[in-house]
Structure 1
Amino acid sequence: MTAMVRNNVVMVGREDGPLLMLAHGFGCDQNMWRLVVPALAEEFRLVLFDHVGAGRSDLSAWQAERYATLDGYAEDVLRICRELDLQQVTFVGHSVSAMIGVLAAVREPDRFAKLVLLTPSPRYIDDGDYRGGFSEADIEELLESLDSNYLGWSAAMAPIIMDNPDRPELGEELTNSFCRTDPRIASVFARATFLSDNRADLAKVELPTLVLECASDVIAPRQVGAFVHAQIPGSHLVTLDAVGHCPQLSAPQATAQAIASFAADR
């Protein structure tokens, strides 16, 4: 099976433009980028894809063992790059895909030009002086709730993640996106996401990196953005005037401008 089919790869934008690879987060698919795509496509060649198990990916390619950690997803990113012979890619990873991008870039740094980490978190669980935003009990409760009533969990969590109560349509969209995911696949991906610890991988990044955080984000609080910035040598930290964990939906213009400015060295 080719990467184009397995990951539902779609390429749009300027044929001769610099490459941007957009990677979605947990419970989402490439449709979550649609509000930033028009602006970015004017200047860049965009590579969009669905993680296996999401969107229009080939569900027959999903294996619980392979996707029990973020390594399987990072290898998929590299497969896409190899099969399409992509070079000098600026990888834009949202949420958990930020760490997937870190893993891919550490393995094959020559494939990539830059990294954009959008609302990243290398570890969600507090650990000593490190504040990830959640206690171990919080995450255990989250995962138990997801397993026992996935649709109910989706309806409850999506508005919290989006955190734009005056724009309920955003929470509804994320709820619907969650609900389109097979609960068994969601359970495995949730554990790979919320139980991961990629703090030690950050210092291995040798690429120019932009850390994009939101002014308020309950999933990836600002102390997490500061930690990621401090751990990646020479990285840049930009705080968007946005609320919630998905600024590509809640503040698409500002998000697209920040990505484009960094990717094009403006």
Structure 2
Amino acid sequence: MDTLKRNNVKVIGKGDQVIMFAHGFGCDQQMWRYITPAFEDEYKLVLFDYVGCGKSDIEQYNEDRYGSLHGYAQDILDICTTLNLKNVILVGHSVSSMIGMLASIQQPYLFRSLILVCPSPCYINKSDYIGGFEEKDLQGLMEVMENNYVGWASFLAPVVMKNTERPELVQELEESFCSMDKEITGNFARVTFFSDNREDLPKVKVPSLILQCAEDDIANEKVGAYVHANLKNSVLKPMKATGHCPHMSHPKETIKYIQQYLQSENIVA
């Protein structure tokens, strides 16, 4: 029960087949609310918040544990163990794509498939790999975060969300950033943006769907192509959706491609 409280775990839905939704950096499980109604009649849905995010138990934050993405992957594995989950379809947004992959590498028998929404194994440009950012630019962003947290949030939210014709979404993301503990969010940002999980891609054994947005300044199309090329048994689906949060800005398209993939893989509720 400690795990369920720690990660503010919620279980909804009427089906037996489990879909677990793992939110991205600076977000929480509420960001999935445009997606979950399409699945709750036929699936069992598991939602949670990483420690330090949303309504998780912040007292359970441990800097050593969460000093790498493996600590966040352990959260997912702990939830699976506590709820006795198997055959899980994991939907991971952004950094949770990599977190989910790490969890599946450690205990592949727990997972049936991965649905990776805007994944990136490495955000930094390195030799012939185009991650989208120079390391010095990310270091500069971290300095802004430390010195002017509110200013950092107001700068980053529209870059991540795009779709400025929906200002309420940009505002929600900015408020989500600002609602979280500054130190914990800073640590999560470093772990997110400075990790390099490219060598982990070939280790993934479960099939996966990659949802790639257009005009995504956080995980560009070259990154999506790289993930697809190095991830065995993966399907790459380019989307018309723009930005880095299609589950919020373009939920109908996101739902459509998830449902199509589940049908193609014969993963029925």
What's the TM-score, normalizing by structure 1?
A: 0.97
* Residue deviations 1:153-194 (CA, integer Å, cap 9, x gap): 001110111111211111111001101111000110000000
Q: Counterpart amino acid of 1:3? A: T
Give 2:3's aligned residue: 3
What's the offset of the Cα at 1:260?
Answer: 2.3
Task: For residue 41 of structure 1, report the CA deviation from its aligned partner.
Answer: 1.2
Q: Conserved in 2, the CA contact under 8 Å of 1:114 and 1:263? A: no
Q: Percent identity?
A: 49
Residue 50 of structure 1: how far off its partner (Å): 0.2
**Alignment-derived partner of residue 220 in structure 2:** 221
1:130 aligns with 2:152: no
Per-residue Cα deviation, 1:70-108 (whole angstroms, up to 9, x for no partner): 010001110100111000001110000000000000000
Question: Structure 2: which 5+ runs fail to align?
Answer: none
User: 1:225 Cα shift?
Assistant: 0.3
Within-5 A mapping of 1:169-188: 169-188=168-187
Aligned position for 1:245: 244
Is contact 1:123-1:194 (8 Å) kept?
yes
The match for 1:204 is 203
Superposition TM-score, scaled by structure 2 size: 0.96
In the TM superposition, what is the alpha-carbon distance from 1:64 to its structure 2 partner? Answer: 1.3
Partner of 1:19: 18
What's the offset of the Cα at 1:2?
A: 1.8
Residue 113 of structure 2 aligns to a residue whose secondary structure is strand
Distance 2:51 2:12 in 1: 20
Who is 2:146 aligned against? 147
CA displacement 1:22-54 (0-9 Å, x = unmatched) = 000000000000001111212211100000100
What is the Cα deviation at residue 257 of structure 1? 1.8
Which runs of no fewer than 5 residues in structure 1 stay unpaired? none
Equivalent runs, 1:60-209 vs 2, <5 Å: 60-209=59-208
Q: Indicate if the aligned counterparts of 1:90 and 1:263 stay in contact, CA closer than 8 A.
A: no
Alignment deviations for residues 196-255 of structure 1 (CA, whole Å, 9 cap, x no partner): 000000000111110111022000000000000000112000011101000000000111
Residues 37-52 of structure 1 mapped to structure 2, 5 A cutoff:
37-52=36-51
- Paired with 1:228 and 1:218, the residues of 2 have a C-alpha distance of 16
Partner SS state of residue 237, structure 2: strand
Structure 1 residue ranges (4+ consecutive) displaced by more than 6 angstroms after TM superposition: none
